[in-house]
Structure formats: structure tokens, C-alpha cells
Amino acid sequence: MKHTFLNRGIVGPALICLMVFVTWLLATPQTQGPTQEEQRVEDAILVFREIAGLADEGIPEAIFRKAYGVAIIPGVVKAAYGIGGEYGRGVLLVQDKEEWSNPSFITLAGGSLGWQIGIQRSDLVLVFRTRKSIDHIAEGKVTLGADASVAAGPVGRGAQANTDLEVKAEIYAYSRAKGLFIGVSVKGAAIQIDADANQRFYRDPQITAQRIFTDFSLAGRPVSERLREVLAKFLSSGYKI
């Protein structure tokens, strides 16, 4: 009887959480071709435009201006019942002298332990303060908090890039859920390049993340050019984009 209780009281809910999470993954469109990747970039544009309008609660312009790169991951899903997990797909761009590269597609996945219950969907933005983290992602993957230090980023136009809030952190993390945009901890989640999506989007089976990040003349799609323009306009005019 004790064994049955453990199965029902602990394993059962955990399995239900896992089944819900897997069901969401299977329900996410997995069709081949450029449409899926173009939509991911469109979603990134929408998320960033909405974030840019939050002048008093968004990413400080001073921090964004000094960023080496930015990852925009719309619709990150977190599910938890004792044992939790998160998954999302987005894009990563690097900046050189206020010019942005084309986007490379990335995935974010991780697990967590803790007595949380429920499913949450949120938009995630990661601001990379050093080149090292980007290089490690391009070479394979980076686990936030282990391979690269990460901290919840300061918010609002009054925040300074030299804040004492974990000033040594390589990455600032921001999350927006239910209309709010706040700093968030994502330690333990792994970011890696979505090579298949890159190959489909750029129609090149040999394309690499390194080339995307370094070849600023690389021909992208119209939607990727719009994303680069949105980021550039934010730097030139602040929150008015």
C-alpha cells in the first residue's frame, strides 16, 4: 500500500507534468521549409517592439548599447510539478559598432527542481555583455549559470550598465509574462544553435553560426533585415521604434 501511495502521490503528478510538456512540444508546428523560421523571426520582432515600449520597465538603453549580442526567445514554456522543465526557440544576433548581424536560430532547454506547480508561457530576452559567451554558443552550447554567469538584468531607463547588481555577470536575463517585464533567473538552461533551422532559412547546408555572426554582408531574408533595422533603430532613438 505504501508503494502504491508513493506512485500516486509523487510519480503520478510528475508524469502528468511531463506528459503535458511533451504534448505542447508535439503540438508546436514542426513543418519543414522557410515559413517556420520566418515566423520565428517575426515573433522576435513583435516581442522586441513591445519590450522597447516599456521605457520605465524595459532594458536600459545604456546596457543594450554596450551589448555584444542579444537573444530573443518568444513563448518560452515552463512546466513544473516538483520536477520542472522549460523549452523555447528564438534567435541570436551580435553587434559590432552598432550594426547587427543576421539572426542565428537557437533553442533553449533546461530542467529544474522545486515544488512549483503549473505551466507558464513567457518571452525571454538575454543581453550578452561579452564575446566569450557568444563564441561558446557558436561552438556548441552554453549552460546558463555554469558555462556563463547570468543575472536578472536591471530595468528602466534610470538603471546604469555599471550597476552593482552582479556586475560580473556575462549575461543579463529579462522575462515578460502576463504583460509584465521583469528580471528573471534562468540558471541551468542550455542554449544551443539550431543548425537545421539556419540551413533552411539561409538555404545553405554549409552555413555556420560563426559565419552568420561575422559576415555582416550575408544575404538574409526580408524579415531578418527588418529585425536588424528594429534593433538599430532602438539604439539610435531609444524607446521610440
What DSSP assignment string belongs to 125-170? EEEE-SHHHHHHHHHSEEEBTTTB-EEEPP-STT--TT-STTTT-S
User: Domain for residue 80, yes or no?
Assistant: yes
pLDDT for residue 172 is more than 70: yes
204: three-class secondary structure by DSSP:
coil
Nearest Cα residue to 208 out of 137, 132, 131, 144:
137
β-strand pairing of 104-128 with 141-143? unpaired
Question: Which pLDDT does position 219 carry in this prediction?
Answer: 85
Structural domain count of the chain:
1
**Does some domain include residue 65?**
yes
- Strand duo 99-100 + 104-128: pairing: unpaired
- Least confident window among 26-30, 72-76, 172-176: 26-30
More confident residue, 84 or 209: 209
pLDDT for residue 9: 52
Of 106 and 15, which is predicted with more confidence? Answer: 106
Q: How confident is the model at residue 18 (pLDDT cuts 50, 70, 90)?
A: low
Q: pTM for this one?
A: 0.75
Q: Give the pLDDT score at 50.
A: 81
The answer to whether position 27 is within a domain reads no
What does pLDDT average to over the chain? Answer: 75
In a domain, 210, yes or no: yes
Domain that holds residue 50: 32-237
For residues 16 and 230, the model is more confident at 230
pLDDT of res. 123: 86
pLDDT grade, residue 101 (50/70/90)?
A: very high
pLDDT at 214: 92
For residue 144, name the pLDDT band (cuts at 50, 70, 90): confident
Mean pLDDT of 45-69: 79
Q: What is the mean pLDDT of residues 227-235?
A: 88
Grouping H, G, I as helix, E, B as strand and the rest as coil, residue 80 is strand
Beta strands in 29-186 (DSSP E): 69-96, 99-100, 104-128, 141-143, 150-152, 171-177, 180-183
The pLDDT score that the predictor gives to residue 216 is: 87
Residue 199 has pLDDT above 90, yes or no: yes
The answer as to whether 5 is a domain residue is no
Of 34-38, 78-82, 99-103, 131-135, least confident by mean pLDDT is: 78-82
Q: What pLDDT, in 10s, does the model give residues 148-159? A: 888 777 776 555
